[in-house]
């Protein structure tokens, strides 16, 4: 154990509650700022037990970090950075870290609404799930039907979703319902290695495996009528949620930059508490290159979700025998929960552009913010939080409290409590499938053992995680959605 890590472990003993729902890891040793965990006592204790708090303290040691190294209530142990982590770095003396974004760059969620009343469609759901599993490629390493050439892949990586829409994959109105208007600027495809391309070509428009899913959901409860109305959401509505990422292309970009930034950090004289925290100054060739490559992967990931949205619309047209327009299959919003972005925030030293790393955290901008679509500006940004397949997912709205306290961030999901193998040992995939089906949830999974890894028991209680964010004010509850049908890889 390095000295810095030992210091981290000691600081955890001094954890203190500084306000309801917020715990501080005091700044000691090599830490440049304190750690701050938005949590109840149960989640923060669990995070301490699995050393995730030590990871929060380690991130606080990185140069140019502003205010605090933060974690959301769904915090759990990650590599280098904890999952659920938020860290902001100053442009002049701060760093950018591929590990602070993660391997699945721009992994995220989108919610597609409909005009359909779910209770009237119950009989059609199994058929829809079957059609979705047939049309949307899912599973380990599965290839997509959309094969891009080199120039097309470059166009997708630089021009993002608006380019895909110009190619017929979606509707013009989708563009504003995606963070950054569906295209993160600054992407440079020359920085995408042949290897990353090779891993990406075959996988565009595919769901992937693990915790990624496609769900048919029913809006079960509305907490905020006005916000729900603004988001096009009503009680009892049928919706579809897509959770996926940048597949092999993003994994390869992260792999390559974690490697090159190990030496970049050493050259910049940065003492890394953990090698996986490899980073480079934002204003260094390595830092700039990583951002430009990451932006390619962000655009690719959102492009994947866009292609899947196109396939979802086609599947619904087929099953419901009506056009996607008539069915009202509009995109509510698309959020990325593994990303680094330049954003302007209020700091004790005035307004500043900061490089915000969200690794398993969702942007949560308030009403009135210029960065959210005009149609939602009176309400706040839609925040989509996927839960496990047996419980629920949530639609929330962004807040000014988040803007002031967490650099406009909130949770991203339930967060695991059980290891994948432990889940497989404890839960039989076929029994789980039968149990979920008895609850009226149609399941299509590439493999039932993979299903067991993602069992509801393997995750924290999503209701509690969302409640902590609601009470802490990082996001406010708008609607709870219950799964009716699940497609897993």
Partner 1 sequence: MRPFELMEHTADIGVRAFGSSEKEVFQNAAAGMFSLIVDPGLVRDVEGFSVKAEAEDHEGLLVAWLNELLYLQDSRDLLLKRFEIGRLGETTLEAMVFGEPVDPGRHKLMSDIKAATYHMLKLEHSSGGWTAEVIFDV
Instruction: Write out the catalytic residue numbers.
Output: 412
Under rule CB under 8 A, residue 141 binds partner 1: yes
Contacting partner 1 (CB under 8 A), which of 417, 457, 464, 467? 417
Choose the binding region for partner 1 from 108-116, 251-259, 298-306, 437-445 (rule: CB under 8 A): 251-259
**Shortest spacing between CB 458 and partner 1, in angstroms:** 9
**Shortest spacing between CB 110 and partner 1, in angstroms:** 20
Q: Residue for token digits 């209770």? A: 119
Contacting partner 1 (CB under 8 A), which of 6, 375, 421, 430? 421
Q: For partner 1, how many residues bind (rule: CB under 8 A)?
A: 47
Contacting partner 1 (CB under 8 A), which of 109, 112, 239, 254? 254
Under rule CB under 8 A, residue 428 binds partner 1: no
Distance of alpha carbon 227 from alpha carbon 116, whole angstroms: 19
Q: Contact letters (x/-) for partner 1, 60-99, by CB under 8 A?
A: ----------------xxxxx--x----------------
To 10 degrees, the CA torsion angle through 270, 273, 275, 277? -70
Q: For residue 82, what is the DSSP state? A: P
Contacting partner 1 (CB under 8 A), which of 113, 218, 251, 476? 251
Q: For residue 237, what is the DSSP state? A: B
**Shortest spacing between CB 482 and partner 1, in angstroms:** 25
Backbone dihedral angles phi then psi of residue 422, each to the nearest 5 degrees: -60, -40
What angle separates helix 41-49 from helix 462-472, to the nearest 10 degrees? 110
Nearest residue (CB) to partner 1, 197 versus 397: 197
Distance of alpha carbon 406 from alpha carbon 474, whole angstroms: 7
DSSP string of 112-153, one letter each residue: E--S-BGGGSGGGHHHHHHHHHHHS--STTPPPS-PPPHHHH
Under rule CB under 8 A, residue 489 binds partner 1: yes
Contacting partner 1 (CB under 8 A), which of 17, 24, 30, 50? 50
Triad 464, 366, 177: Cα angle to 5°: 95
Q: Which two tokens stand for residue 449?
A: 């053992």
Under rule CB under 8 A, residue 208 binds partner 1: yes
Choose the binding region for partner 1 from 65-73, 174-182, 203-211, 431-439 (rule: CB under 8 A): 203-211
Nearest residue (CB) to partner 1, 76 versus 218: 76
**Shortest spacing between CB 261 and partner 1, in angstroms:** 11
Distances (CA, A) of 466 to 41, 385, 408, 425: 15, 8, 16, 28
Q: For residue 473, what is the DSSP state? A: T
Count CB neighbours of 440 within 10 A. 13
Nearest residue (CB) to partner 1, 91 versus 418: 418
b/e 342-353 (16+ beta carbons within 10 angstroms → b): ebebeeeeeebe
Q: Which two tokens stand for residue 122?
A: 């119950």
Choose the binding region for partner 1 from 205-213, 301-309, 379-387, 397-405 (rule: CB under 8 A): 205-213
**Shortest spacing between CB 421 and partner 1, in angstroms:** 5
Nearest residue (CB) to partner 1, 300 versus 407: 300
Distance of alpha carbon 286 from alpha carbon 289, whole angstroms: 5
Q: Residue for token digits 């509690």? A: 464
Contacting partner 1 (CB under 8 A), which of 103, 257, 290, 394? 103
Nearest to 85 by CA among 51, 20, 37: 37
Nearest residue (CB) to partner 1, 193 versus 235: 193
Choose the binding region for partner 1 from 118-126, 127-135, 268-276, 370-378 (rule: CB under 8 A): 268-276
To 10 degrees, the CA torsion angle through 413, 416, 420, 422? -150
Contacting partner 1 (CB under 8 A), which of 90, 199, 313, 357? 199
Q: Which two tokens stand for residue 1?
A: 């154990």
Nearest residue (CB) to partner 1, 76 versus 480: 76
**Shortest spacing between CB 141 and partner 1, in angstroms:** 6
Under rule CB under 8 A, residue 209 binds partner 1: yes
**Shortest spacing between CB 481 and partner 1, in angstroms:** 24
Distance of alpha carbon 320 from alpha carbon 392, whole angstroms: 24
Distance of alpha carbon 257 from alpha carbon 252, whole angstroms: 9
Under rule CB under 8 A, residue 263 binds partner 1: yes
Under rule CB under 8 A, residue 339 binds partner 1: no
Backbone dihedral angles phi then psi of residue 442, each to the nearest 5 degrees: -80, 130
Under rule CB under 8 A, residue 104 binds partner 1: yes
**Shortest spacing between CB 138 and partner 1, in angstroms:** 11
Burial class (CB in 10 A: 0-12, 13-18, 19+), 194: exposed
Q: Which two tokens stand for residue 120?
A: 């009237």
**Shortest spacing between CB 256 and partner 1, in angstroms:** 9
Nearest to 361 by CA among 418, 406, 397: 406
Contacting partner 1 (CB under 8 A), which of 188, 391, 428, 449? 449
Contacting partner 1 (CB under 8 A), which of 16, 259, 267, 326? 259
Binding interface with partner 1 (CB under 8 A): 50, 76-80, 83, 102-104, 139-141, 143, 195, 198-199, 202-203, 208-210, 248, 251-252, 254-255, 258-259, 262-263, 274-276, 278, 416-422, 446-447, 449-450, 489
């Amino acid at each position: 154990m390095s000295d810095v890590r030992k210091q981290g472990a000691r600081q955890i003993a001094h954890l203190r509650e500084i306000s309801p729902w917020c715990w501080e890891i005091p700044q000691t040793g090599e830490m440049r700022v304190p750690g701050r965990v938005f949590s109840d006592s149960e989640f923060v204790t669990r995070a301490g037990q699995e050393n995730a708090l030590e990871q929060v303290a380690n991130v606080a040691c990185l140069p140019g970090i502003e205010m605090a190294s933060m974690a959301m209530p769904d915090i759990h142990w990650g590599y280098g950075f904890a999952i659920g982590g938020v860290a902001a770095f100053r442009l002049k003396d701060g760093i950018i870290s591929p590990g602070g974004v993660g391997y699945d760059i721009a992994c995220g969620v989108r919610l597609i609404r409909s005009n359909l009343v779910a209770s009237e469609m119950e009989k059609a759901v199994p058929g829809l799930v079957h059609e979705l599993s047939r049309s949307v490629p899912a599973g380990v390493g599965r290839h997509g039907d959309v094969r891009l050439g080199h120039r097309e892949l470059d166009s997708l990586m630089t021009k993002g979703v608006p380019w895909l829409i110009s190619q017929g994959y979606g509707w013009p109105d989708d563009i504003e319902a995606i963070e950054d208007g569906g295209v993160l600027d600054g992407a440079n495809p020359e920085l995408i290695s042949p290897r990353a391309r090779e891993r990406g070509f075959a996988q565009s428009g595919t769901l992937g495996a693990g915790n990624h899913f496609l769900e048919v959901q029913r809006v079960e409860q509305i907490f905020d009528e006005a916000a729900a109305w603004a988001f096009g959401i009503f009680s009892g509505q049928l919706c579809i949620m897509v959770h996926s990422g940048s597949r092999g292309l993003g994994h390869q970009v992260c792999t390559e930059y974690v490697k090159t930034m190990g030496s970049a950090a050493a050259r910049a004289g940065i003492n890394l508490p953990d090698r996986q925290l490899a980073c480079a100054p934002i204003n260094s060739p390595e830092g700039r290159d990583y951002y430009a490559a990451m932006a390619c992967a962000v655009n690719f990931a959102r492009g994947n979700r866009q292609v899947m949205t196109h396939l979802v619309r086609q599947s619904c047209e087929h099953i419901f025998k009506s056009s996607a327009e008539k069915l009202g299959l509009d995109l509510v919003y698309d959020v990325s929960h593994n990303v680094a972005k330049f954003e302007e925030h209020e700091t004790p030293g005035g307004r500043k552009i900061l490089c915000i790393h969200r690794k398993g955290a969702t942007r949560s901008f308030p009403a009135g913010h210029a960065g959210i679509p005009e149609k939602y500006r009176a309400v706040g940004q839609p925040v989509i939080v996927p839960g496990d397949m047996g419980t629920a997912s949530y639609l929330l709205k962004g807040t000014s409290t988040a803007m002031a306290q967490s650099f406009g961030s909130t949770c991203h999901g339930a967060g695991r409590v059980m290891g994948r193998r432990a889940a497989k040992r404890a839960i039989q995939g076929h029994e789980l499938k039968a149990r979920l089906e008895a609850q009226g949830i149609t399941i299509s999974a590439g493999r039932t053992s993979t299903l067991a890894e993602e069992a509801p028991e393997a995750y924290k209680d999503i209701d509690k995680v969302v409640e902590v964010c609601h009470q802490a004010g990082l996001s406010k509850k708008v609607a709870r959605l219950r799964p009716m049908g699940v497609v897993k890889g």
